[in-house]
Amino acid sequence: MNDSRRTFLKTSALTIAATAIGSRYLFAVGKKNDTLGLQLYSVRDDMAKDPIGTLKQLSAMGYKYVEHAGYSDRKFYGIPAKEFKTHLDDLGLIMCSGHVQLTMNDWDAAKGDFTDKWKYTMEDARTAGQRFLINPWMDESLRKDYEGLLHFLDLFNKCGAICKKYGLRYGYHNHDFEFKTSFHGKKIFDIIVEKIDPSLVALQLDIGNMYGAGGRGLEILKKYPGRFELMHVKDEIKSDKGEMNDGYESTVLGQGILPVKQIIDYARQNGGTSYFIVEQESYQGKTPIECAKDDLKVMKKWGF
- pLDDT, mean of residues 208-212: 97
What's residue 1's pLDDT? Answer: 54
Average confidence score pLDDT of the chain? 91
Residues 188-225 as b or e (16 or more Cβ within 10 Å = b) = bbbbbbeebeeebbbbbbbbbbbbbbebbbbebbeebe
Phi and psi (nearest 5°) for 231?
Answer: -140, 140
Whether 21 shows a pLDDT value over 70: the answer reads: no
DSSP per residue over the chain, as a string? --HHHH----HHHHHHHHHHHHHHHHHHH-TT--EEEEEGGGGHHHHHH-HHHHHHHHHHHT--EEEE--EETTEETTEEHHHHHHHHHHTT-EEEEEE----GGGEETTTTEE-HHHHHHHHHHHHTT-SEEEE----GGGGG-HHHHHHHHHHHHHHHHHHHHTT-EEEEE--SHHHH-EETTEEHHHHHHHHS-TTTEEEEEETTTTGGGT--HHHHHHHSTT--SEEEE-EEEE-SS-TTSSSEEEESTTSSSS-HHHHHHHHHHHS---EEEE-----TTS-HHHHHHHHHHHHHHTT-
- Which residues, 6 or more positions from 58, have their beta carbon under 8 angstroms from its beta carbon? 38, 43, 66, 93, 292
Task: Return the amino acid letter for 105.
Answer: N
Give the tens place of pLDDT for each residue, 169-184: 999 999 999 999 999 9
Question: 72 phi and psi, to 5 degrees?
Answer: -165, 150
The count of domains in the chain is: 1
Distance of alpha carbon 303 from alpha carbon 290, whole angstroms: 20
Q: The domain that contains 129 carries what CATH number?
A: 3.20.20.150
Query: What would the mean pLDDT of 242-267 be, rounded to a whole number?
Result: 97
Closest CA to 166 of 272, 16, 32, 55: 16
* Burial label, 52 (beta-carbon count in 10 A; 0-12, 13-18, 19+): middle
> Would the pLDDT of 9 be above 90?
no
Q: Which residue type does 128 have? A: A
Residue 8 pLDDT greater than 50, yes or no: no
**Which has the higher per-residue pLDDT, 25 or 99?**
99
Predicted confidence at residue 99, as pLDDT, reads 98
**Span 35-89, pLDDT tens digits:** 999 999 999 999 999 999 999 999 999 999 999 999 999 999 999 999 999 999 9
**Per-residue pLDDT tens over the stretch 215-237:** 999 999 999 999 999 999 999 99
> Would you say residue 117 has pLDDT above 50?
yes
Distance from C-alpha of 166 to C-alpha of 302, rounded to nearest angstrom = 34
- Please check the confidence at residue 12 and state whether its pLDDT lies above 60: no
* Average pLDDT of the residues in 116-121: 98
Report pLDDT for 33. 74
**Is pTM beyond 0.85 here?**
yes
Range of the domain at 15: 3-301
Q: What is the pLDDT of residues 131-142, one digit of tens each?
A: 999 999 999 999
Q: If you average pLDDT over residues 97-122, what whole number do you get?
A: 97
Band (pLDDT 50/70/90 cuts) for residue 273 is: very high
Band (pLDDT 50/70/90 cuts) for residue 32 is low
Report residue 271's pLDDT band, with 50, 70 and 90 as the boundaries: confident
With a cut of 50, say whether residue 279 has pLDDT above it: yes
